[in-house]
């Protein structure tokens, strides 16, 4: 993890201002953090010291079950919060948040901002909007698995997790997240390769044709907006 300083920090504060999310000034103690692919933004079970606001990049949320199985449960994108549940809940089991690409976040220290954020109507209104959208997405995930074939859902998953045009996710993780068999997943990946959408490179896949995947994934987006 890198922490931007001086001019680089200020450039991000100027170019990606979040002052509209608060009714009080927040720039004084904000940090700007950069995480590389695979780095943990929050370790599972470890309460964070910051509320994060994602500026660029993508991350994944993991949870470990009582039987030791680790599951991918959601994605995080630009303009999403991380650590909001830890902000509003004194007792909360923290999920693991791992960067899936280079990810840059504003980090607001709880020790400086917690009380003011929890008393700020402007911020709480924005946080409520975010939590509402997040809950709607999670509710729609199950209905998508029933309404759409794997081709659409896998295309969307590939686009969300690919880093610089390369898809590297473990098959077992994908099967668990999408609710499909290992054999079915390999079959659809082979189809994507035959059609020229992907090219297999060792254990990874390079996106060769971006537009067909986007068209497949867009059907999910259109469905969720209905």
Q: pLDDT of 85-119, one tens digit each?
A: 999 887 777 889 999 999 999 999 999 999 999 99
Tokens of 130: 């975010």
Q: pTM value? A: 0.85
Average pLDDT in the chain: 90
**Class assignment of domain 148-224?**
mainly alpha
Give me the residues paired with residue 50 across strands.
109
**CA-CA-CA-CA torsion sign (19, 22, 26, 30):** negative
**Rounded mean pLDDT, 53-75:** 89
Tokens of 137: 């997405």
pLDDT of amino acid 145: 64
Q: pLDDT of 157-203, one tens digit each?
A: 999 999 999 999 999 999 988 989 999 999 999 999 999 999 999 98
User: What CATH code is assigned to 2-120?
Assistant: 2.60.120.10
Taking the domains of the chain in order of start, what are their residue ranges? 2-120, 148-224
What are phi and psi for residue 222, nearest 5 degrees? -65, -40
pLDDT of amino acid 68: 79
Ramachandran region of residue 44, left (φ > 0), alpha (ψ -120 to 50) or beta? Answer: beta
CB atoms within 10 A of CB 46: 11
Residue 50: exposure state from Cβ atoms within 10 A (0-12, 13-18, ≥19): buried
First-to-last CA distance in the chain? 39
Q: Tokens 């991918």 appear where?
A: 72
Greatest pairwise CA separation for the chain in angstroms: 56
pLDDT of amino acid 225: 43
What distances in angstroms separate CA 179 from CA 110, 154, 172, one per listed residue?
Answer: 37, 11, 10
Tokens of 87: 């902000």
């Amino acid at each position: 993890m890198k922490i931007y300083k001086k001019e680089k920090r200020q450039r991000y504060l100027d170019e990606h201002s979040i002052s509209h999310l608060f009714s009080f000034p927040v720039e004084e103690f904000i940090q700007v953090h950069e995480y590389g692919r695979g780095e943990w933004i929050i370790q599972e079970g470890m309460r964070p010291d910051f509320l994060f606001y994602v500026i660029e990049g993508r991350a994944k949320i993991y949870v470990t079950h009582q039987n030791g199985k680790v599951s991918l449960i959601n994605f995080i994108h630009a303009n999403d919060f991380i650590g909001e549940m830890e902000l509003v809940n004194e007792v909360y089991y923290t999920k693991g948040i791992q960067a899936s690409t280079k990810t840059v976040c504003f980090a607001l220290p709880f020790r400086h901002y917690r009380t003011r954020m929890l008393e700020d109507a402007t911020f709480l209104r924005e946080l409520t909007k975010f939590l509402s959208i997040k809950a709607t997405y999670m509710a729609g995930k199950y209905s998508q698995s029933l309404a759409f074939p794997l081709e659409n859902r896998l295309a969307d998953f590939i686009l969300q997790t690919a880093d610089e045009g390369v898809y590297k996710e473990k098959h077992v993780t994908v099967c668990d997240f999408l609710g499909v068999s290992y054999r079915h997943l390999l079959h659809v990946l082979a189809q994507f390769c035959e059609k020229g959408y992907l090219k297999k490179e060792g254990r990874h896949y390079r996106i060769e044709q971006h537009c067909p995947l986007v068209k497949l994934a867009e059907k999910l987006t259109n469905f969720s907006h209905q």
